């Protein structure tokens, strides 16, 4: 294995989350760590599972399908989140594999997910991704379209949306994006806020994150595929 001590890094991240929660007078148990294991093999994930981490995020349906069924046999209480863009033609695999899909962002995907949920009799928890920076290359519903989309998810597709997720633009200070996501969730009576990554989970916790998605601070730098 590499020099990187993943278990020590996990402990540091957990301590950082606890410290941020304390700083902002929040219950540390109200912030869930989603350990983002994309592009890392099972050999890198196993020590993190052995250290007690159970909530993981993956970006690619295919990669997750190759890694997680075997890991789940050993750790059946794992909770797996899809945090990368989802093509409608992968909706069936995604519903089968994931406990939470964080990247619902368009009517065609809502329709595909509703169909597979009915067919498989299994419903992942759903978050809507919001493109808070209105970046053309990024997935997510535009802020102005969010309330209408949530209404369509409910009434047209029969989907229960639990919360919102965002990835702020790389070059922006993240806090205004986190504050915007928080206010949009409040306005719509949604409880779950997935925001904050390795570099910015502290302000995300300050602004109400219930889930922080942390990869490189735990697993080290990712090698591009």
**Residues of the shown chain interacting with ligand PLP in the complex, contacts defined by CB under 6 A:** 36, 38, 59, 83-84, 167, 197-199, 213-217
Tell me the C-alpha distance between 112 and 54, whole Å: 28
CB of 119 to ligand PLP, least distance (A): 27
Interacting residues of 160 by C-beta distance below 8 A, sequence separation 6+: 123, 126, 154
List phi, psi (to 5°) of 102: -95, 0
Least distance (Å) between residue 222 CB and ligand PLP? 7
Give the residue with the Cβ less far from ligand PLP, 15 or 199. Answer: 199
CB of 198 to ligand PLP, least distance (A): 3
Nearer to ligand PLP, 57 or 143 (CB): 57
**How many whole angstroms separate alpha carbon 46 and alpha carbon 119?**
32
C-beta of 83 vs 91, nearer to ligand PLP? 83
Shortest reach from residue 29's CB to ligand PLP, in Å: 21
Closest to ligand PLP by CB, 102 or 116: 102
Q: By beta-carbon distance, which residue lies closest to ligand PLP? A: 215
Question: Judged by CB, which is closer to ligand PLP: 36, or 209?
Answer: 36
Minimum separation from the CB atom of position 10 to ligand PLP (A):
12
Smallest distance from ligand PLP to CB 59, Å: 5
For residue 195, CA distances in Å to 95, 134, 177, 216 come to: 22, 16, 9, 15
Among residues 67 and 213, whose Cβ is nearest to ligand PLP? 213
């Amino acid at each position: 294995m590499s020099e990187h001590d993943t278990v020590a890094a996990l402990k540091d991240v957990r301590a950082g989350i606890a410290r941020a929660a304390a700083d902002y007078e929040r219950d540390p148990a109200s912030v869930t760590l989603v350990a983002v294991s994309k592009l890392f093999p099972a050999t890198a994930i196993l020590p993190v599972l052995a250290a007690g981490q159970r909530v993981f995020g993956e970006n690619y349906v295919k990669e997750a399908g190759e890694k997680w069924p075997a890991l789940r046999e050993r750790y059946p209480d794992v909770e797996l989140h899809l945090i990368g863009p989802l093509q409608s033609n992968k909706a069936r695999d995604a519903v089968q594999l994931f406990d939470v899909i964080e990247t619902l962002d368009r009517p065609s995907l809502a329709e595909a997910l509703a169909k597979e949920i009915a067919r498989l009799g299994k419903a992942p928890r759903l978050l809507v991704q919001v493109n808070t920076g209105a970046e053309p290359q990024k997935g997510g519903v535009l802020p102005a379209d969010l309330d209408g989309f949530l209404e369509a998810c409910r009434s047209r597709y029969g989907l229960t949306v639990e919360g919102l997720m965002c990835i702020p633009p790389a070059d922006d200070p993240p806090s205004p994006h986190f504050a915007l996501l928080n206010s949009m969730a409040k306005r719509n009576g949604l409880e779950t806020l997935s925001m904050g990554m390795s570099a910015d989970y502290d302000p995300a916790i300050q602004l109400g994150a219930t889930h922080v998605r942390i990869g490189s601070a735990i697993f080290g730098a990712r090698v591009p595929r």
